[in-house]
Amino acid sequence: MNKKQIKKRYDSLIANIEQQRMYDGRGKGVDVYVCEKCGGLVLTRYRDKGVTPFTIRCRLCNQGTMIHKDTVSEQHALAICLCQGGSKVKEWVRPTFEQLMKMNEGLQDHVLNGGLVLEEEVAL
């Protein structure tokens, strides 16, 4: 797909995402991902409407797979953050078009199909 085609799909997604029939996790709590290898926790919440993966690469040991295990209240998430020494809740976001163009083809496809990425992936 060329840049013009990607832009057309991206603009259509942005214009229609709120009307799309898909899960909207905004305001529904904090997702807890647990690494099968190191046991580490990562907490996430939705900033934007969209689809998130069930598993992600471990952000702590960089070797394991983190699986979405639970969704908890904001209050419970705060308690977990305090127990982990002040770790913060990461947000699922939709990248800007400029950020999208810097991503690999697989991530571009994910986003163009309504997918979100962790904020740290667009901060690069």
Tell me, yes or no, whether 95 lies in a domain.
yes
Q: Is residue 13 part of a domain?
A: no
Is the confidence at residue 124, as pLDDT, over 70?
Answer: no
Domain that holds residue 47: 26-122
Task: Name the band, by pLDDT with cuts 50, 70 and 90, for residue 106.
Answer: very high
The pairs formed by 53-61 with CB atoms below 8 angstroms and a separation of 24 or more are: 53/115, 56/118, 59/90, 59/120, 60/35, 61/35, 61/37
Tell me: the pLDDT tens digits for 20-75? 999 899 999 999 999 999 999 999 999 999 999 999 999 889 999 999 999 999 88
Q: Is residue 32 part of a domain?
A: yes
User: What's the structural domain count of the chain?
Assistant: 1
Is 85 within the bounds of a domain? yes
Q: Is residue 46 part of a domain?
A: yes
Q: Bridge-partner residues for 30, per DSSP?
A: 72
Residue 50: inside a domain:
yes
Does 51 reside within a domain?
yes
Interatomic CA distance for residues 86 and 96, integer angstroms: 29
Q: Does 103 reside within a domain?
A: yes
